C-alpha cells in the first residue's frame, strides 16, 4: 500500500496536465482578496530531482516537461506553468520539478493557508525538509516565511480532510491525488467527495485519476458525475494508443467539481497544443466534458463532450435509457402507463359493458335509448352464398339414399325484452345455429 513513490513519475504528461490546471485554479482563487485554504490529501515529497536515480530509471519526464522545456511558442496560460518550473531552475538546466505542494506555495498568497497530508513516512519527511529549506531561503532573502500558515501532517488525507471543512474563510481549493495502487482508492475518492460536499458544497475539488484498462478506472469518471455537486468538468489527455497488454500510463484525467467559469476556454486553447507536442502516434487526443449533477436520461441532455475538435453528445449512463419512464420501456412506470413489448401494436381501448354481464361489449343498449342495428358475430355477410348443410345430424332421407334437403334456419328465440323479429338487434348472449357469439 505504501510502495508508491512519485519520484519515478515526476514531470510526466500526467503531471503536466495536473499542475497546469492547478495553476489556473489558484489564479481564479487569487482574484478575490479573501483568504482561502488549500488542502492536498496526497502531497508527496513536494520537490523532485529529475537527475535522481528514481527519475532517470524511468525517464517519464520525457513524455511531459521534457518536450516543453525549450519551446517558446506556447500558449499564454501554459507559459505561466512553465515559468513557475523554470523559476526553480535558474541555471536554465532542467533539474528540479515541483509537486503540487510547491505549486500551491508559489501560487498562494501570504494570507492563504496550506494543509498538506502524506501517509508515506519517507515522503512526509522529505516534504517537511523541503519546506524547512524553503523558509530558510526566504529568511536569507529578507522575505517573510509562512510559519504556521503551512501545516504538514503525516496521515490519511481522506480522513483528515473532514476536520478542515468548512474552512474559517469559507473558501477552499482541494486537490485529491491518490496513487490508485489498490481498487479501494477509487471508492474512497467518491466517498470523500460525497462527505466533503455535505460539509462544504461551495468548495472547488480537483481530482486527478489515471485512465487505465481496468474496470474501476474506466467507470470512475461516470461515477464522479453523480456526486452532489452543482457543476463538474472532466478533462483527459492521451498521448498515445494503449498497448495491447494494457500496461503503462498513456492517458490521465482531471475531474473538477464546481469548476471556475474561466477554466474551460483555457483548456480548449491549451489541450490541442499539448496533443500536438506530446502526442506519440495517431491515438493522441483530448476530451472535455462538462455538465451538472443529474442522473438517467437527463444526464445525456445536460452534459456535452468534446473529443479533439469534434463535439459528441453525452449518452446516458448504464441502463438509464432502458429504465427511463420517459422512453415507455423498462421497469419504471408512470401511474396508469401501459408498457407494450417491442414489436406489439398499440392496444385499442374497449368501452366497458354496462349490461351487468361483466364482459366488455360495444353492442350494449342503454335504457331508454333507441336500439342500434348490429348483426351477430357469426351472421353471414350480405350477398353471401347459402350455408352448407350440417354433417352432424343427417336426416332419414340421406340415410336411405334419397337426396338431402338443407335444414331451414332455426327461428330466433323470444323471451323477456329480447326482440322476436329476425335480424333485429340483440343484447347480451345470442344463439345462432348452435354456436356462441
> Which residues are identified as catalytic?
177
Q: How far is 211 from 253, CA to CA, in rounded Å? A: 7
Strands 431-432 and 231-238, bridge-based pairing: unpaired
Q: How far is 109 from 29, CA to CA, in rounded Å? A: 10
Grid cell in block for residue 397: 332421407
Q: In this structure, what are the phi and psi dihedrals at residue 252, rounded to the nearest 5 degrees?
A: -150, 165
Our CA angle for 137, 140, 146, nearest 5°, is: 55
Grid cell in block for residue 243: 498497448
Please, are residues 157 and 117 in contact by the beta-carbon 8 Å criterion?
yes
Give the residue among 288, 313, 310 at the shortest CA–CA distance from 302: 313
- DSSP-derived secondary structure for 116-153: EEE--HHHHHHHHHHHHHHHHHHHHTTPPP-GGGEEEE
Q: How far is 104 from 206, CA to CA, in rounded Å? A: 13
Please, are residues 80 and 74 in contact by the beta-carbon 8 Å criterion?
no
Q: How far is 295 from 292, CA to CA, in rounded Å? A: 9
Q: How far is 339 from 211, CA to CA, in rounded Å? A: 40
Grid cell in block for residue 308: 479533439
Within 10 A of 337 (CB to CB), how many other CB atoms are there?
9
Whether residue 166 is preceded by a cis peptide bond, meaning omega within 30 degrees of 0, is yes
Amino acid at each position: 500500500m505504501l510502495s508508491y513513490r512519485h519520484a519515478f513519475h515526476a514531470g510526466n504528461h500526467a503531471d503536466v496536465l495536473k499542475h497546469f490546471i492547478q495553476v489556473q485554479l489558484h489564479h481564479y482563487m487569487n482574484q478575490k482578496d479573501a483568504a482561502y485554504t488549500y488542502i492536498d490529501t496526497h502531497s508527496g515529497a513536494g520537490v523532485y530531482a529529475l537527475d535522481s536515480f528514481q527519475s532517470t530509471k524511468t525517464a517519464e519526464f520525457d513524455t511531459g516537461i521534457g518536450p516543453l522545456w525549450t519551446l517558446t511558442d506556447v500558449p499564454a496560460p501554459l507559459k505561466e506553468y512553465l515559468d513557475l518550473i523554470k523559476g526553480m531552475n535558474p541555471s536554465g538546466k532542467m533539474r528540479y520539478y515541483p509537486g503540487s505542494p510547491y505549486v500551491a506555495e508559489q501560487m498562494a498568497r501570504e494570507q492563504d493557508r496550506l494543509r498538506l497530508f502524506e501517509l508515506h513516512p519517507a515522503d512526509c519527511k522529505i516534504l517537511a525538509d523541503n519546506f524547512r529549506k524553503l523558509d530558510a531561503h526566504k529568511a536569507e532573502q529578507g522575505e517573510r516565511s509562512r510559519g504556521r500558515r503551512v501545516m504538514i501532517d503525516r496521515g490519511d488525507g481522506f480522513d483528515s480532510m473532514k476536520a478542515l471543512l468548512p474552512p474559517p474563510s469559507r473558501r477552499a481549493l482541494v486537490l485529491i491525488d491518490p496513487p490508485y495502487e489498490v481498487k479501494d482508492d477509487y471508492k474512497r475518492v467518491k466517498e470523500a467527495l460525497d462527505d466533503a460536499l455535505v460539509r462544504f458544497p461551495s468548495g472547488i475539488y480537483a481530482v486527478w485519476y489515471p485512465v487505465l484498462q481496468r474496470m474501476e478506472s474506466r467507470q470512475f469518471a461516470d461515477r464522479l458525475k453523480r456526486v452532489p455537486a452543482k457543476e463538474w468538468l472532466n478533462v483527459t489527455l492521451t498521448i498515445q494508443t494503449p498497448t495491447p497488454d494494457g500496461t503503462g500510463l498513456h492517458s490521465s484525467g482531471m475531474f473538477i467539481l464546481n469548476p471556475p467559469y474561466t477554466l474551460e476556454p483555457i483548456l480548449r486553447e491549451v489541450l490541442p497544443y499539448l496533443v500536438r507536442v506530446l502526442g506519440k502516434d495517431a491515438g493522441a487526443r483530448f476530451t472535455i466534458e462538462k455538465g451538472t449533477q443529474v442522473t438517467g436520461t437527463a444526464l445525456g441532455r445536460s452534459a456535452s463532450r468534446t473529443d479533439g475538435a469534434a463535439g459528441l453528445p453525452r449518452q446516458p449512463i448504464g441502463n438509464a435509457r432502458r429504465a427511463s419512464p420517459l422512453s415507455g420501456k423498462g421497469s419504471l412506470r408512470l401511474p396508469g402507463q401501459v408498457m407494450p413489448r417491442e414489436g406489439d401494436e398499440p392496444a385499442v381501448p374497449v368501452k366497458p359493458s354496462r349490461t351487468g354481464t361483466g364482459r366488455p361489449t360495444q353492442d350494449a343498449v342503454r335504457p331508454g335509448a333507441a336500439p342500434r342495428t348490429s348483426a351477430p358475430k357469426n351472421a353471414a355477410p350480405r350477398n353471401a352464398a347459402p350455408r352448407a348443410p350440417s354433417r352432424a345430424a343427417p336426416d332419414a332421407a340421406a340415410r336411405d339414399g334419397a337426396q338431402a334437403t338443407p335444414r331451414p334456419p332455426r327461428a330466433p328465440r323470444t323471451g323477456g325484452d329480447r326482440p322476436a323479429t329476425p335480424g333485429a338487434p340483440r343484447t347480451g348472449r345470442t344463439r345462432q345455429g348452435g354456436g356462441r357469439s
